[in-house]
DNA sequence: GGTCTGACTAGGT
DNA sequence: AACCTAGCCAGAC
């Protein structure tokens, strides 16, 4: 089980992750690994997943997916993330994966 | 200050 | 396709 991960530090690596996640445009998605790179690996992909999971409602956490283009939250919220993404126009392939080349967020410097 | 865990990833079996 | 390993890290206890 997930022990606990109540975000305390509002200025630590977590905040860094949230700031980036907030910038993901509607209808676009980013991967954990991608975000990890964006923060200069202050957090590994695992840490990013941890931060995203602990994110509040203001953060569009549903726009964060794994490198395969599938959602990693089905265990916790079956179908939720997919539904939220489809609601903003993100289409899933037959294998349940998103086409990252098409929906992947390409942040500019 | 040691121990344990996870919404990851790439690679292997 | 299912399962396993190692690398990686901050945060809670």
Instruction: Note the pLDDT tens digit of each residue in A16-38.
Output: 898 999 999 999 999 999 999 99
Round and report the angstrom distance from CA (A7) to C1' (B6): 15
| Overall pTM surpassing 0.85 (yes/no) | yes
Residue nearest to nucleotide B4 (CA to C1'): A3
**Burial degree of A88 (CB within 10 A; 0-12, 13-18, 19+):** middle
A25's tokens: 């445009």
Any atom of strand C under 7 A from CB of A106? no
Q: A83-108: per-residue pLDDT in tens?
A: 999 999 999 998 899 999 999 998 87
> CA A46, C1' B10: Å apart?
14
Q: Which bases along strand C come within 7 Å of a protein CB atom?
A: 7-13
Sign of the CA dihedral running A86, A90, A94, A98: negative
């Amino acid at each position: 089980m997930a022990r606990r991960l109540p975000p305390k530090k509002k200025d630590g690596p977590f905040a860094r992750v949230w700031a980036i996640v907030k910038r993901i445009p509607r209808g676009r998605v980013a991967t954990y690994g991608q975000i990890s790179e964006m923060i200069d690996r202050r957090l590994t992909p695992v840490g990013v997943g941890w931060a995203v999971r602990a994110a509040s409602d203001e953060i569009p956490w549903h726009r964060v997916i794994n490198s395969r283009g599938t959602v990693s939250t089905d265990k916790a919220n079956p179908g939720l993330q997919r539904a939220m993404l489809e609601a903003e126009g993100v289409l899933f392939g037959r294998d349940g994966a998103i086409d990252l080349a098409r929906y992947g967020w390409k942040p500019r410097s």
